[in-house]
Amino acid sequence: MYRTLSILLISLISICTAAQKSTVPVKLATDQSIGSAPSSTEADRPVDTKLSVDQLEKEAAAMYAHHSYSSVARIYEYMISRYGYSDKLYYNLGNAYYKSKNYAPAILNYERALRLNPGDQDARFNLEMCRTRIVDKINPVGVIIFTRWYQSLGNTFDSNTWGIFSIVLFLLFIASLFGFFFAKVTWLKKSSFFVGILSICVSILSLVYSGQQRNSIVYPDKAIVFSSTINVKSSPDQSGTDLFILHEGSKVTVLSSLGTWSEIELEDGSVGWLETKNIQII
């Protein structure tokens, strides 16, 4: 029995450790808040590549205070390409694009921030603000309430946090097993039994959420339209029938790819083909 429990524990820790290798730790930037979008009062400047990460953050904050949002965006783009990504960098980059009224890249970066940190309520709120400013208003296909609850719970934490929960709860399950088999008091045996059942169930659920969050990072299948107007075709060819029109900022799910074309699906269930160059993967 002890050998079996040891194997289960080692296996679970290995899976959760793999699930946590989903983000690149970098120095996080200072959050910016969304407001109105005033015009730039300072000339845009190129990024000084000689500056350190801390200096770049201060430079971005100074540019933001002077409403030079294009320069702020360039700094964050450089930091992401040079030092790696994080949810805070994507969030701040989204704010810079929002301020300069570039809503498609703003939506893209808010979505990327939420992909890394689904529980970021600021990014989620700002994303909804952005969506009110694009042309397409797509109503999602209705889902049953239990599915909505399941998805909302999964978006509460990121992959790392769910992985930690899974490990802690599995350890609690192991402790409950010892309590059940070795406790001499009846009420303690019963309590250990119910605690063990509950902890292993929640541990498995946490592991599932951790895996789902990790897969969304490693194998992204969502994208944002970056063309002002694009005709979605019935087939991967310019001669295909026009099915519907999408505008900049719309979110799609990429179902498959064929050459330079991608098959996409909207939240309302509509499916069609468009050229891959017109979208950017989240």
Which one, of 176, 170, 173, 175, lies nearest residue 210 by Cα? 170
| Cβ proximity of 203 and 49 under 8 Å | no
Q: Do domains 24-143 and 222-281 have the same CATH topology?
A: no
Quickly state the pLDDT bin for 44 (edges 50, 70, 90): low
3: CB partners within 8 A, 6+ apart: none
Instruction: Give yes or no for residue 42 having a pLDDT over 80.
Output: no
pLDDT in tens, 233-267: 999 999 999 999 999 999 999 999 999 999 999 98
Q: How many residues does the chain have?
A: 282
Mean pLDDT of the chain: 83
Distance CA 270, CA 224 (A): 15
| Cβ proximity of 110 and 96 under 8 Å | no
pLDDT in tens, 4-21: 444 444 554 554 444 444
Quickly state the pLDDT bin for 150 (edges 50, 70, 90): confident
Instruction: Give yes or no for residue 155 having a pLDDT over 80.
Output: yes
Judged by average pLDDT, the poorest of 33-47, 50-64, 121-135 is 33-47
The backbone region for 269, taken as left when phi is positive above 0, alpha when psi lies in -120 to 50, beta otherwise, is left
Locate the domains of the chain by residue range. Answer: 2-20+158-218, 24-143, 222-281
Task: Identify which has the larger pLDDT, 205 or 44.
Answer: 205
Neighbours of 249 (CB within 10 A): 22
- CATH numeric code, 222-281: 2.30.30.40
Fold classification of 24-143 is 1.25.40
Cα dihedral: 99, 103, 109, 113 (round 10): 80
Instruction: Give yes or no for residue 46 having a pLDDT over 90.
Output: no
